[in-house]
Amino acid sequence: MVKKLFVVMLVCIGLAFVFSCDGGDDDPQDDIFAQSPDPSKIETIMQDGREFKFPVNQLVILMEDGATEKDASAVASAIGANIVGQIPSTGTYQLELPTTTAAELEAVAVRAEAQPKVESASYNYLGQLRETTACKANDDNDKLTAARRCALENIQYYQAVPIVEKLRSSISFSKVKVAVLDSGLDGASQFENTSVNDLVNDNGMFLFGDDKGHGTQVAGIIAADNGDNAVNGIASRIVGASNIGIYYCGEAQVSLAKMLSCAAKAGEKKIDAVNMSFGYGAENPPPRFAATRSQWVRVMAKYPGTLYLAAADNKPYVLTLTNDAPAGIQLGNMMTVGGVGGADGCDPVKEYAMSARGSLIDIAAPAVNVPVLDPASPDGTPLLGSGNSFAAPIVTSIAAVIKSINPALKPSEIKKFIMDYNYLTSSEVNYRRAVLALPLEQMLINKGAAAVVLGYIDRDGDRIYDEPGVVVDRICSRSEVNVESESLYVFESAEEDAGSFLNAMGFGVIMIKDGTYSFSASCSGCAFKLDTDFPIPAKVGISYVDNALNNIGSGTSGALKFISCVVVQREGLSNMPLLLDIEGTLRGVFEVMKPPSPDVYIRPFTGKFNLFMVVMAMSPSDEFVKEIEKSCHGGLNRP
């Protein structure tokens, strides 16, 4: 447990809670700073039916390449302003003026752009936090049921976790730095095992506070440690909380000047991934938005060693090169994240109805009913949040996992990897959706994982990941059949060939041990159903071979029964079940022959199996698909 220090400090975000944490190195230059706007100076304008806010006494100017701080000071002096924030490395300066109305501010902005070496001037817009609603969830990640699990199921979280837990001792995870630029960060008890740092004042302590709660929810998706039965961070669960460093920067108003300075600080600090679940755009952007966008381009292009990830707007318009920022900016170290999930979060191939869209979306992630921390009660029941604010940190988490496995990767390489290893969305959507287990497996293969790891995730040695559902079955499954007076036959799925299939014509089960012994059963014309005896041999044909004992057997009576099933993988585009984890039982009698002897031996047998089942579905209307969705854990229609 991290030692908690309770101190009282009066700062801009109020009284808050502090705990000690790692400091880190590579401190950014102290000439990057910004001033929070005065709430009493905020003006509101309407554009495209939404509010845009900015202080009437502040501008953010972008100087031309090659301009100096002295040039910026001359501009400030010429228009009667003071410099209250700056990013000298990108030529960005925050100016405070005596103006009291939006009209006065616009007049000064025109004068500012007429000054030598000024490229553009923007209002200091306050950002839009890209969330919508949040309601109560039932429990933590491992206990969420039905629709409340969908967001995590749809990114393969429940497949990635058992893979990593089984192989953790053979996987090397490196430390990774993730910055959360947002409204604040609270919920100290949910980050006790994670290093939490102030990006601006990295002095070994972090002052918790988040009046809006938004930053807490975003950071929790990435790195909450689940120490108190609340949300489990995706990245921290995979690479380990001790390998995640969270660096916070921001303010409740999410002003342009402040967030630009935070983005620059992250670049100076050599942060690996920066999550930005806010933005400043609209389908028809507000006045001086082009300058706002140019400032974001300048800052992110300055730091190609840091990967920036931004949430697309929660308005269903097409992103262009002129109507949103930082989302939609096209750089090798920048990703724009849209949303999927359909109406209830359980349809991963359908767009989130409120998400911005178009070809400038690099990747999508669940944005509907995502489990998030409850800022009012971080240790308690999670909320379900909706909005691209919660899609972005899912992709940020995946980026952090990839970086942790291979620290040598550049941001552009991480971006390409995420965009190469993912799943399709519906035909109406022209971008793909992020998943966790596929890039996790493939990066381990690419990095040259230990032989024991490859034995699970790349058994055929083709250097291409095996389907995560199959890998999970290899890890979790065990089957056995006891043939009286002959032997107990054990099949560990991690070592043997064992599996089953299901289609409209029936099902089959096969278990093979290194060519030494095997069992196979098939049922033609059988409709899949749990807790139903399928009779041997009237319905199920079953055979048995033991080469060591020279045995050949055929079932003459008994039954096969499926007792449970779990949907462990769905087809990427149709979302129909692709792989099940099934449990079942066998009982009956074999007639066994031992060639060349003509004698027949009566051998009772019992068995149990836990295998993966390949589902060969053609349509959601197939009766066996309906049964899966109704009866299996993870089924869409299961009560």
**What pLDDT score does 23 carry?**
35
Q: How confident is the model at residue 8 (pLDDT cuts 50, 70, 90)?
A: very low
| pTM given for the model | 0.82
* 40 has pLDDT over 70: yes
**What pLDDT score does 401 carry?**
98
Lowest mean pLDDT among 213-222, 265-274, 323-332, 418-427: 418-427
Q: How confident is the model at residue 496 (pLDDT cuts 50, 70, 90)?
A: low
Q: What is the pLDDT averaged over residues 618-630?
A: 90
Lowest mean pLDDT among 92-106, 122-136, 503-517: 122-136
DSSP string covering 552-565, please?
A: EEEEEEEEEEEEEE
Q: What is the pLDDT averaged over residues 609-625?
A: 88
DSSP string covering 24-36, please?
A: -S-PPPTT-B--P
Q: What is the pLDDT averaged over residues 471-478?
A: 80
Q: From the CB of residue 454, how many other CB atoms can be counted at a distance below 10 Å? A: 19
Burial track 254-280 (b if 16+ CB lie within 10 A, e otherwise):
bbbbbbbbbbbbbbbbebbbbbbbbbb
**What pLDDT score does 336 carry?**
98
Q: What is the pLDDT averaged over residues 234-250?
A: 94
**What pLDDT score does 617 carry?**
82
Q: What is the pLDDT averaged over residues 290-319?
A: 96
Contact 424, 349 (CB under 8 A): yes
Query: What value, to the nearest 5°, has the Cα angle with vertex 251 and ends 245 and 256?
Result: 105
Q: Mean pLDDT for the chain?
A: 87
Q: How confident is the model at residue 5 (pLDDT cuts 50, 70, 90)?
A: very low
**What pLDDT score does 205 carry?**
59
Query: Which parts of 343-388 are beta strand (E)?
Result: 347-351, 363-366, 370-372, 383-385
Using alpha carbons, select from 174, 33, 139, 29 the residue that is nearest to residue 380. 139
DSSP 209: B
d(CA 521, CA 501): 11
Q: How confident is the model at residue 17 (pLDDT cuts 50, 70, 90)?
A: very low
Q: How confident is the model at residue 347 (pLDDT cuts 50, 70, 90)?
A: confident
pLDDT in tens, 301-314: 999 999 999 999 99
More confident residue, 198 or 300: 300
**What pLDDT score does 494 carry?**
52
Q: What is the pLDDT averaged over residues 206-224?
A: 87
| 3-state SS, one letter per residue, for 64-130 | CCCCCHHHHHHHHHHCCCEEEEEEHHHCEEEEECCCCCHHHHHHHHHHHHCCCCEEEEEECCECEEC
Q: From the CB of residue 459, how many other CB atoms can be counted at a distance below 10 Å? A: 15
**What pLDDT score does 227 carry?**
56
Q: What is the pLDDT averaged over residues 624-635?
A: 89
More confident residue, 332 or 211: 332
**What pLDDT score does 328 carry?**
96
Helix and strand numbers, DSSP H then E, in the chain: 14, 34
**What pLDDT score does 132 carry?**
58
**What pLDDT score does 639 carry?**
62
What are the tokens at 226? 């689940």
More confident residue, 556 or 46: 556
Contact 581, 566 (CB under 8 A): yes
Lowest mean pLDDT among 161-170, 267-276, 544-553, 565-574: 565-574
Tell me the C-alpha to C-alpha distance, in Å, between residue 440 and each of 211, 399, 468: 35, 10, 10
Lowest mean pLDDT among 231-240, 291-300, 465-474: 465-474
pLDDT in tens, 372-384: 988 777 767 788 8
Using alpha carbons, select from 113, 85, 109 the residue that is nearest to residue 257. 85
* 223 has pLDDT over 50: yes
Question: What percent of the chain has a predicted confidence (pLDDT) above 90?
Answer: 63
Angle at which helices 468-476 and 157-167 cross, to 10°: 50
d(CA 284, CA 293): 14
**What pLDDT score does 70 carry?**
96
Query: What value, to the nearest 5°, has the Cα angle with vertex 47 and ends 45 and 48?
Result: 155
pLDDT in tens, 66-124: 999 999 999 999 999 999 999 999 999 999 999 999 999 999 999 999 999 999 999 99
Q: How confident is the model at residue 30 (pLDDT cuts 50, 70, 90)?
A: low
Using alpha carbons, select from 394, 442, 434 the residue that is nearest to residue 418. 434
| Single-letter amino acid code for the residue at 330 | Q
d(CA 94, CA 637): 54
Contact 295, 324 (CB under 8 A): no
For 295, residues 6+ apart whose C-beta sits below 8 A from its C-beta are 60, 62, 90, 92, 120, 122, 256, 260
**What pLDDT score does 554 carry?**
96
Strongest mean pLDDT among 49-53, 278-282, 301-305, 571-575: 301-305
* 217 has pLDDT over 50: yes
**What pLDDT score does 382 carry?**
80
Q: Pairing mode, if any, of strands 422-423 and 195-198?
A: unpaired
**What pLDDT score does 492 carry?**
76
Domains parsed from the chain with CATH numbers: 4-28+129-447 (3.40.50.200), 39-124 (3.30.70.80), 477-631 (no CATH)
Lowest mean pLDDT among 284-293, 360-369, 425-434, 505-514: 425-434
For 282, residues 6+ apart whose C-beta sits below 8 A from its C-beta are 47, 48, 50, 52, 313, 315, 317, 323, 324
Lowest mean pLDDT among 404-408, 488-492, 552-556, 605-609: 488-492
* 284 has pLDDT over 80: yes
* 504 has pLDDT over 70: yes
Q: From the CB of residue 40, how many other CB atoms can be counted at a distance below 10 Å? A: 7
Helix (H, G, I), strand (E, B) or coil at 577: strand
Q: How confident is the model at residue 331 (pLDDT cuts 50, 70, 90)?
A: very high
Q: What is the pLDDT averaged over residues 388-413?
A: 98
